[in-house]
Amino acid sequence: MLRKIIVTVLTAVLCLGSAGYFAWWLKKNKPAPQEGAATAQAPLVEIVKLAAEDVRQILHGFGTARSDREATIAAEVSAGVVECADSLQEGAKVEPGDVLVRLDERIYRQEFLEAQALAQSVAAELAQVSVERSNLGTLLEIAESDLTLNREELARVERLFNQGNAPKTEYDDARLAYQRSLSAKQQLDNQIALLEPRRQRLVAQAAAAEARAERAQLNIERCQITAPFAGVIRELMVEVGDRVGIGSPLFTLVNLEMIEVPLELPVADRPRTREAAPVVLAVESMPNVTWTGQVARIGPVADLRSRTFTVYVEVDNRAPVSYTH
């Protein structure tokens, strides 16, 4: 057994020695490397031809179509309905300026005439004040002249009276004449002073009468109700003989040339939404019919509960409808 072990060890040592000698011999007899210029190799690339393509992102939303322009016309005065145009019927088309309803304007016309009469009366009183002011001015000049003369006469007689050259009766008469002329001037001054407040009061009355006339004229015009824009009568609320008050609805007018559809879209689609983007609209009950429109504006606020925002789409209802098969 020992002998076998010794033989195995000697064999291993002999193999290792032979391998080491062979490695030394290879290293010693290895040829020296030859120097040469390095050559650059071009990298391998792949050429791809690019072409621009339109990428369409389709967003889906739901909404309810409504008229872009709709108005409920109401009465602006209290009066009775005396006439309704033949075109004032549900579904009838009207043009802007068409007279559709006439209200009883007689009471407002009477108010207008009364206001005009009051304005004329006030104008006459103002003219009278102007004449009185002119006449009182002339009288005041005479009174001032008399006052000046009487003052000078009183001073002369008083000087003579003090010198003993004039009787007391003459002095008293001169003083009385001066006092009378002074009183007359003061009365004229008072009358002239009262003319200005009177004139201002009449001016205010004239302005009030003019305002009443303008208001009555405006109410007369309001008794004639016209169509504010071209459209279709959607609903009629009055007929001849009805009594309406201020704010009473008369009819509803819609313009169907442009349709607006508020669409609710998820908030996640907000970055991909832009104004003027094309939109295709369809109705579930009409699967083969579509309308085209575009985004007119985008709502700035999102609904926190539904996590949606509103996109307003405008559709030109005058454009032809698309049919698919």
Per-residue pLDDT of 62-90, as tens digits, reads 788 888 788 999 999 999 999 999 888 99
Sequence-ordered list of residues with C-beta below 8 angstroms from that of 210, at least 6 positions apart, any chain: 115, 119
Write phi, then psi, for 197 (nearest 5 degrees): -60, -40
**Alpha-carbon distance values, 134 to 86, 127, 163, 190, 202 (Å):** 62, 11, 44, 15, 17
**Alpha-carbon distance values, 59 to 210, 278, 297, 304 (Å):** 62, 11, 16, 20
Give the separation between CA 89 and CA 232, rounded to whole angstroms: 9
Question: pLDDT band at residue 259, thresholds of 50, 70 and 90?
Answer: confident
Q: Are strands 243-244 and 278-283 parallel, antiparallel or unpaired?
A: unpaired
Give the separation between CA 308 and CA 137, rounded to whole angstroms: 82
Stretch among 121-135, 274-288, 296-310 having the lowest mean pLDDT:
274-288
**Cβ proximity of 94 and 252 under 8 Å:** no
Stretch among 39-53, 124-138, 292-306 having the lowest mean pLDDT:
39-53
Higher-scoring residue by pLDDT: 259, 249: 249
What is the model's pLDDT at position 35? Answer: 63
* Arithmetic mean of pLDDT, 197-206: 94
DSSP track, 182-251: HHHHHHHHHHHHHHHHHHHHHHHHHHHHHHHHHHHHHHHHHTEEE-SSSEEEEEE---TT-EE-TT-EEE
Write phi, then psi, for 226 (nearest 5 degrees): -115, 165
Question: pLDDT band at residue 198, thresholds of 50, 70 and 90?
Answer: very high
What is the model's pLDDT at position 14? Answer: 61
Stretch among 56-70, 93-107, 142-156, 285-299 having the lowest mean pLDDT:
56-70
256 burial (CB, 10 Å; 0-12 / 13-18 / 19+) is middle
What is the model's pLDDT at position 302? Answer: 86
Stretch among 179-193, 241-255, 276-290 having the lowest mean pLDDT:
276-290
Amino acid at 86: D
pLDDT over 90 (residue 148): yes
What is the model's pLDDT at position 15? Answer: 61
Higher-scoring residue by pLDDT: 137, 283: 137
Q: Minimal CA–CA distance to 281: which of 296, 294, 292?
A: 292
Stretch among 40-44, 67-71, 79-83, 205-209 having the lowest mean pLDDT:
40-44
